[in-house]
Structure 1
Amino acid sequence: MKNSRQNRRQFLSTSGALLMSAPTLASKTVWNRGQKAGSFSKPIGIGIIGMGIRGRNLMHGYFLRDPRIQILAVCDVDRNRRVHYRDEVRKHYENDVCEEFTDYQELLERDDIQAVVIATPDHWHATQCIDAARAGKHIYCEKPLTHTLLEGKRLMEEVKRTDCVFQTGSQQRNEYGHRFVKAVEYVRNGRIGKLLQVHVGVGDPPKACDLPKEEMEPGLDWDRWLGPTPLRPYHSELSPRGVHGHYPRWRAYWDFCGGYLADMGAHHLDIAQWALNADRSGPETILPAPDGDPKRGARLVFPGGVEVVHGGPHGTTFLGTEGLIQVDRDRLSSVPESVLSKPLEEGEERLPRNRNHVEDWLQAMEQGRQPLCDVEVGARTAALCQLLNLSYRYGRKLAWDPEAWQFQPGGGEEAWMDYPRRPQYPLLGERLVESRDSSIKF
């Protein structure tokens, strides 16, 4: 027994060294149940809300290429962007059906739009998703799904009252050569022994926004861009004007996002959550960094004692009693190498392998099911980011009740669940629908 404990300590010590020195691993559509998956009686009409770089990439990379889809509207608070992409859509279809909107609620009023894609800054996701679900639309929303813990709770409640088919844009579960799928399968099947820790190598927590005022060219509805967040002067770092090819730095600031911890943590913490089979649960304890580091080292402790640690090489690293697995979008490796070389056997757990994340959503709409990253999966992954950020911000241990979706007594403050919102932009939105049109049939 003594030798066993010593060998285990030696293994963990060696694994820890490898972990720290490893390189980056880095009209209404009728849906017929009798049709083959992926086939449709007529194209589904969609609207895209948010035409920055992510909305553009989704439009060009998926939706314009798919004959099952027709883009009927685009929405953005920047006039140059929305007009530019409206014209691109019209040129592609060789008609002028596609409209452009400043106000997403006007887009939601179109009865011929059955589904929406939401690719706005994070502080808008929850309210827009709630309004879309109440308007009877199916939803694909970019990650991180929510900006605060209260948003996650309210969004799950609202979406689950509807027939909405909801996909969170955490595409690592479906894409990148299924490297993440294989890593999770091997962890779940015990190929590295008992799982002890998961290290998630992503960026910094958010910081306060103290950007100076800049002059703003006409054509941007800045108040609507800010939405529920505190009123502040315009700066191009937050909303660069017109059509551009980069990811704006609003992601770095508390008011709009959970920092780069949430930006990529919504991907890699999602994989950790998946491997832990925790899509319907969550951590019970959140520990600040042991050395007081304000940017790395905070830990999520799940039932059973598995720790998810913010830090380590980029991507997701699983550390078990008998080996480790490292996975990123372009790499999958293990120590020892033999861990991944042996195929799964009959009877071992296998996970879905979809062609891509959008395809999973489209097939889910056709088949009348929920896709792989439904609203609860997305909300719980976002909550992991939010709990880590709160631990950094307040430098203290938190106690969380993942079932009740609230802090345990003495484990955190109620005020940390959300932030003071401007009254003209309430969380539950201004769209109150007394009866819902469920005319999209499966």
Structure 2
Amino acid sequence: MNNRRQFIKSSMLVGGGIALLPSALRGAAAPSKRVNIAMIGTGRQGLHANLRTLIAMDNVKIVSVCDVDRLRVNYAKAVVDQRYGNKDCKAFGDFREAIEMDDLDAVMISTTDHWHAIIALAAMKKGLHVCCEKAMTRYFDEGRALADVAKKKGVVFRLDSECRTAAYMQKTANLVLNGYIGNIKRMEVGVPHEFQKGGGNPESMAVPDYLDYDMWLGPAPVRPYTLDRVHHTDEKTGKWKGRPGWLRISDYCSGMICNWGGHLIDVANMINGTSHSGPVSVEGTGGFPDEPQALWDTIMKFELQYKYANGVTLDYKLDQPYLRVEGDEGWIQAHWHSKGGLQAHDRKIFRTKFKPTDTIVSSRSDKQDFISAITEGTAVMIDAEAGHRVNSQCLLGLAAVKAGKRLEWDAKKEVVTNCDEGERLMKHSFHRDPWALEKFV
């Protein structure tokens, strides 16, 4: 581990997890407080949502960009070079080269879901901090391994959901956590109808010369290349175009049930005090595309009900993105977007003046939450264990739909206790050589 990385890691251990930096090192320009980051994955989320946010932060330096799509990585490098006024940013096509850079502190992973675990594990074994897009992993065993390694290595891991930092969600959490609607009885989460039908052209196409397709597949099964399987890139600019097809294919992604669940169910679990445990059962129904020859096969509709050990229930369905919390003294509903806003049994509740003794959730942005954890030793909002648990909860719902049966879940042992088929579906995993998961744990 290099000296800069050792300094930042050791500073997290001072003062009970709060970094006590010498006065000479304080300030955004201090090299010891600047976090050098490699951006791994420079597509839609990587460029638009993550790189542009991190690059605007004074105490962050983007030192490299990495993508299997040469056009995309070149475009991302140009963005970084323009921001810094130099050409120092390195461009890689293989994440293994990116994480070997000297003076690297952290990685931002914005790849396809099926690559998240392998890249994160490799980075953490190097002592690097990790911010990872959700869904955290494609498979259950990946998430368990990732949470265990993050704890063992003592590095910062943050699941990159901005939902906890959204103003409406924070307001809801503060009111509920401090008892302003009484004891929680029921919660409800809706997520968007992103994909209403199957489809996707399955016919094999020539692989573009700018794409390392075998590396794109990585641990997933070998399949013929087709544009609707991977992503669209503007060949003139190198920018992403539209939603990628892989979001709808189960080899690479579990679908919106996990992708959006990683946002809103995470907030529900925080409010319910179950971020590091989860539910004890789930039941419900759902449906999949009925075009057997089409590419896109992830779940398209579902209505689920989870039950927690404390008796609280959570109804989860396709709808608009929102969170509703019902207590024995009232209810609050928060929408993801400003159009829905905040609703409640009595709008006067939103004028509540919190007491000094009330618990107030952090108002840091998602990226600042990650950077502060590295430089100041603060706890991240969504650590690897919480990320694994919320993803597992969504995978459990998916398994219940496929099994067609109510599944009982031992949250401590992380096993389905009443249905062998449900347990098999829950623990299904695939990693093509040379990307076997055990090689990276």
The TM-score with structure 1 as length reference comes to 0.84
Matches within 5 A, 1:394-433: 394-408=403-417, 410=419, 412-414=422-424, 416-429=426-439
Aligned residues with identical type, % of pairs:
27
Contact 1:28 1:114 in 2 (8 A): no
1:138 paired residue among 129, 133, 149: 129
Task: Answer whether contact 2:35 2:371 (CA < 8 A) is retained.
Answer: no
- What CA distance in whole angstroms lies between the structure 1 residues aligned with 2:283 and 2:409? 11
Q: CA deviation at 1:429?
A: 4.6
Partner of 1:191: 180
CA contact (8 A) 1:205 1:262 kept: no
Is contact 1:38-1:362 (8 Å) kept?
A: no
For residues 179 and 392 of structure 1, the distance between their equivalents in structure 2, rounded to whole angstroms, comes to 31
Give the distance between the partners of 2:146 and 2:157, measured in 1 at CA: 11
Kindly tell me the number of residue pairs found equivalent between the two proteins: 402
Q: Please state if 1:299 is matched with 2:305.
A: yes
Q: Are 1:239 and 2:245 counterparts?
A: no
Question: Among 72, 88, 93, which residue is 1:97 paired with?
Answer: 88
Find the aligned partners of 1:100 and 1:39 in 2 and give their Cα distance: 26
Residue deviations 1:132-172 (CA, integer Å, cap 9, x gap): 10011111111111112111111111111112111111112
Counterpart for residue 382 of structure 2: 373
Residue of structure 2 equivalent to 1:262: 258
Q: Tell me the alpha carbon deviations over residues 94-125 of structure 1, each in whole angstroms, 9 at most, x when there is no partner.
A: 32221111110111111221111000011111
Partner of residue 271 from structure 2, selected from 256, 268, 275: 275
1:296 Cα deviation after fit: 2.5
Larger displacement relative to structure 2 (327-336 or 127-136): 327-336
* 2:292 equivalent in structure 1: none
Q: Which residue is 2:215 aligned to? A: 224
Q: Distance in 1 between matches of 2:254 and 2:241?
A: 22
Q: 1:263 to 1:138 in 2, by over 3 A?
A: same
Contact 1:73 1:101 in 2 (8 A): yes
1:158 aligns with 2:149: yes
The whole-number CA distance in structure 1 between the counterparts of 2:147 and 2:257 is 23
**SS in structure 2 opposite 1:327?**
strand
Q: How far apart are residue 195 of structure 1 and its match?
A: 1.9
What is the CA deviation profile of residues 290-322 of structure 1, one whole-angstrom value per residue up to 9, with x for unaligned ones? 999982321111112211111254311112333
Residue 347 (structure 1) aligns with? 357
Q: Deviations over 1:225-264 (max 9, x none)?
A: 1222221122223322342243313222221112112221
Indicate which of 31, 34, 54 corresponds to 2:21. 34
Distance verdict in 2 for CA 1:138–1:364, change over 3 Å? same
Deviation string 1:196-228 (CA, Å, 9 cap, x unpaired) is 221111146999887412333211111211222
- 1:408 and 1:260 map into 2 onto residues whose CA distance is 26
5+ long unaligned stretches in structure 1? 1-26, 433-442
Q: Which has the higher contact order (CA 8 A, sep 6+)?
A: 1
1:288 equivalent among 269, 284, 295: 284
Query: Which residue of 161, 164, 167 corresponds with 2:158?
Result: 167
Question: Partner of 2:260: helix, strand, or coil?
Answer: helix
Structure 1, 235-244 or 163-172: larger mean CA deviation: 235-244
- Alignment partners' CA distance in 2, 1:136 and 1:419: 26
Note if contact 1:127-1:429 (Cα within 8 Å) is conserved in structure 2. no
Contact 1:198–1:309, Cα closer than 8 Å, also in 2:
yes
Kept in 2: contact 1:204–1:296 (CA 8 A): no
Alignment-mate amino acid for residue 389 of structure 2:
R
Distance 1:228 1:196, change over 3 A: same
The AA in structure 2 aligned to 1:417 is: K
Work out the CA distance in 1 between the residues paired with 2:363 and 2:162: 12
Counterpart AA for 1:345: K
TM-aligned CA distance change 1:157 to 1:28, over 3 Å:
same
5+ long unaligned stretches in structure 2: 12-19, 289-298
Q: In 1, Cα distance between the equivalents of 2:247 and 2:367?
A: 24
Distance of 1:334 and 1:185 partners within structure 2: 14
The residue that corresponds to 1:322 in the other structure is 329
Kept in 2, the 8 Å contact 1:28–1:111? The answer is no
Once the two structures are superposed, residues 164-196 of structure 1 have per-residue CA deviations (whole angstroms, 9 ceiling, x without a partner) of 11111111212x3x2211101212223223322
Which residue of 66, 69, 78 maps to 1:78? Answer: 69
CA 1:132 to 1:209, structure 2 compared with 1: closer, same or farther past 3 Å? farther
1:196–1:265 Cα change, 3 Å: same
1:310 pairs with 2:316: yes
How many angstroms does 1:415 deviate by?
Answer: 5.2
Preserved CA contact (<8 Å) 1:151 1:418: no
The verdict on how the C-alpha distance between 1:158 and 1:291 changes in structure 2, with shifts beyond 3 A counting, is closer
Asked if structure 2 preserves the Cα contact closer than 8 Å seen for 1:250 and 1:257, the reply is yes
- Counterparts of 1:143 and 1:168, CA distance in 2: 6
Name the aligned partner's letter for residue 177 of structure 2.
R
Deviation at 1:378, TM superposition (A): 1.1
Q: Give distance in 1, aligned partners of 2:335 and 2:438.
A: 36
The 3-state SS of whatever aligns with 1:200 is: strand
Secondary structure in structure 2 of the residue aligned to 1:232: coil
Query: Does the alignment pair 1:202 with 2:194?
Result: no
Distance in 1 of aligned mates of 2:404 and 2:307: 16
Q: How many angstroms apart in 1 are the aligned matches of 2:198 and 2:434?
A: 23
RMSD: 2.7
Determine the C-alpha separation between the residues in 1 that align with 2:198 and 2:414.
26
